[in-house]
Amino acid sequence: MLKIITHPNPILRKKSREIKHEEILRADFKKLVKDMAKTMLEKDGVGLAAPQVGKNIRLIVVNSEDGVMAFINPKILKKSWRKKIGEEGCLSLPDIFMLVKRHYGVEVEFLNLEAKKQKIKAKDLLARVFQHEIDHLDGVLFIDKAER
């Protein structure tokens, strides 16, 4: 299991770099994805971003209805007009829960583990998870966006 970096560690505030095509196909990268997935599930998380385990690369893992999936270099292409307020927590901010307004739906473009470009549409909780985890890749934490 990987060690979760907690706030106020400066790693959590750095913008993460894109992952190169050749890196995705390496065994050590595949192991990192597996270890991140295992760590997220052990800690009862629904998403985990690489900066939360000390790696400033654009990688997130998400626990969806289809199981755990890796999203490499994810980008939000479209956001719904409609927004929804919901409670969020974060493995990097243990025992803190706050209300955050997020887009109800998003369309995300990413690379899969074969380095192939993909798109996924998500709404409600899954859309919230994508927005929360992609924020991590830009050094943004949910406490920055919480309703005051």
Catalytic residue among 22, 65, 133, 147: 133
> Which of 148, 49, 47 shows the shortest CA–CA distance to 99?
148
- Residue spans of beta strands (DSSP E) within the chain: 47-49, 59-64, 67-79, 83-90, 93-103, 105-111, 117-123
In sequence order, what are the beta bridge partners of 49? 60
Residue type (1 letter), 126 = L
Instruction: For residue 133, indicate whether it is catalytic.
Output: yes
- Phi then psi for residue 10, to 5 deg, are -60, -20
Whether residue 9 contacts residue 2, with contact meaning beta carbons closer than 8 Å, is answered with no
In sequence order, what are the beta bridge partners of 79? 106
User: Looking at the annotation, which residues are catalytic?
Assistant: 133
